[in-house]
C-alpha cells in the first residue's frame, strides 16, 4: 500500500543487509520503491536492482554536488539508460548551494541538461534543492510542461505553491516527523492531496524517533502516519493516495 518514492538502496550502506531491509519494508506495507541514482556508479546499481526485483524501479541522474565532474559523454550514457523500461525518472538533479558554492554555473548547466532530457524522454525530474529555492525556481520557470518531484521538500509553504504551479509534486520525508519540523509540517497541510508524495531518502534522514540512525524504506510508514495526523485524515487514505499519485506520475502499472 505504501510507495517510497526516493530511496538509495543503491548505497553501500546496504551492502551487507539488503535482503533484510527489503523484507522489513514489505512487512511495513511498502509495495514499491523508487531507487534513485546520483552518480554513474549508483545509476548502474539502481538499474541492476530494478532488473532484479519486480517491486523496484530506478531513476538515473547527476547530483548537483557532483556537477563539476560531469562530462558531455555522461549525457549520452543517461540518454541510453533512460530508454530502459524500468528507468522511470531523471535525477536526482538540481541545485545545492549548501555543500557547493564554488561551481554554481556548472551546477546550473548540468541541471539544465537533465531538465532537457526529462522533456525529451517525457519522464519526471527528481529535484534536489538545498539553500537554493530561488535559483532552482528561476531555472525551472524557463521551461514549460515540466513534471517531477521536489524531493524531501524543505522550502517554505509559499515556495511550495510556486513549484506546484510549475507542475511539480511535493514529496515529504523524515523531517516532517521531527519534533522541530515546523516548516515541513506546515507544508504537509497545504499541498493538494493529488500532488503529495512520501519518501525516506534512506539511508539518510531517518524519521523521529530514529533521527540520526541509518534510515530504511520501512520507515516511510512513519512519514505517512505523521502526515495523516497533521491533515486529520486516516493513515490508510494517505498511504493509498500517495501511492496512487506515485504510480501515475511514474507511469507504472499497479502491481497486483
CB of 256 to Ni ion, least distance (A): 29
Integer angstrom CA distances of residue 75 from 60, 92, 157? 11, 14, 33
Nearer to Ni ion, 35 or 243 (CB): 35
Q: Is 96 left (phi over 0), alpha (psi -120 to 50) or beta?
A: beta
CB of 122 to Ni ion, least distance (A): 22
CB of 7 to Ni ion, least distance (A): 8
Q: Judged by CB under 5 A, does residue 4 bind Ni ion?
A: no
Nearer to Ni ion, 44 or 256 (CB): 44
Q: What's the grid cell of residue 215?
A: 534510515
Strands (E), the chain: 2-7, 30-36, 56-60, 87-96, 125-130, 148-150, 168-172, 196-198
Nearer to Ni ion, 40 or 161 (CB): 40
- Among all residues, whose Cβ is closest to Ni ion? 201
- What is the distance between the alpha carbons of residues 198 and 243, in angstroms, rounded to a whole number? 8
Nearer to Ni ion, 100 or 201 (CB): 201
Nearer to Ni ion, 174 or 181 (CB): 174
Mask: binding to Ni ion, 163-202, rule CB under 5 A, as x and -? --------------------------------------x-
> What are the residues facing 3 on neighbouring strands?
32
Distance of CA 182 to the CA centre of its chain: 21
Q: How many residues bind Ni ion (CB under 5 A)?
A: 1
CB of 129 to Ni ion, least distance (A): 11
Alpha helices in 82-214 (DSSP H): 104-121, 133-140, 157-165, 182-190
Mask: binding to Ni ion, 197-236, rule CB under 5 A, as x and -? ----x-----------------------------------
CB of 85 to Ni ion, least distance (A): 23
What angle in degrees, to the nearest 10, is found between the helix axes of 72-81 and 40-52?
10
CB of 40 to Ni ion, least distance (A): 16
Q: How far apart are the first and last CA of the chain?
A: 11
- What is the distance between the alpha carbons of residues 188 and 184, in angstroms, rounded to a whole number? 6
Binding site for Ni ion (CB under 5 A): 201
Amino acid at each position: 500500500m505504501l510507495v517510497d518514492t526516493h530511496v538509495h538502496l543503491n548505497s553501500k550502506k546496504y551492502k551487507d543487509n539488503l535482503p533484510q531491509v527489503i523484507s522489513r519494508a514489505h512487512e511495513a506495507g511498502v509495495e514499491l520503491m523508487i531507487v534513485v541514482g546520483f552518480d554513474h556508479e549508483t545509476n548502474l546499481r539502481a538499474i541492476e536492482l530494478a532488473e532484479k526485483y519486480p517491486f523496484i524501479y530506478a531513476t538515473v541522474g547527476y547530483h548537483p554536488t557532483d556537477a563539476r565532474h560531469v562530462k558531455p559523454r555522461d549525457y549520452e550514457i543517461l540518454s541510453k539508460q533512460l530508454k530502459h523500461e524500468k528507468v522511470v525518472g531523471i535525477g536526482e538533479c538540481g541545485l545545492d548551494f549548501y555543500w557547493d558554492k564554488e561551481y554554481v554555473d556548472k551546477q546550473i548547466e548540468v541541471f539544465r541538461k537533465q531538465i532537457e532530457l526529462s522533456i525529451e524522454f517525457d519522464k519526471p525530474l527528481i529535484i534536489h534543492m538545498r539553500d537554493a529555492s530561488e535559483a532552482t525556481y528561476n531555472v525551472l520557470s524557463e521551461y514549460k510542461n515540466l513534471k517531477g518531484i521536489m524531493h524531501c521538500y524543505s522550502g517554505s509553504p509559499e515556495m511550495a505553491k510556486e513549484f506546484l504551479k510549475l507542475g511539480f509534486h511535493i514529496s515529504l520525508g523524515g523531517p516532517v516527523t521531527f519534533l522541530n519540523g515546523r516548516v515541513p509540517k506546515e507544508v504537509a497541510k497545504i499541498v493538494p492531496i493529488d500532488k503529495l508524495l512520501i519518501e525516506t531518502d534512506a539511508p539518510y534522514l531517518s524519521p523521529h524517533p530514529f533521527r540520526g540512525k541509518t534510515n530504511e524504506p520501512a520507515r516511510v510508514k512513519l512519514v505517512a502516519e505523521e502526515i495523516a495526523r497533521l491533515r486529520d485524515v486516516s493513515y490508510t487514505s494517505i498511504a493509498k493516495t500517495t501511492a496512487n499519485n506515485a504510480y501515475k506520475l511514474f507511469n507504472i502499472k499497479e502491481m497486483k
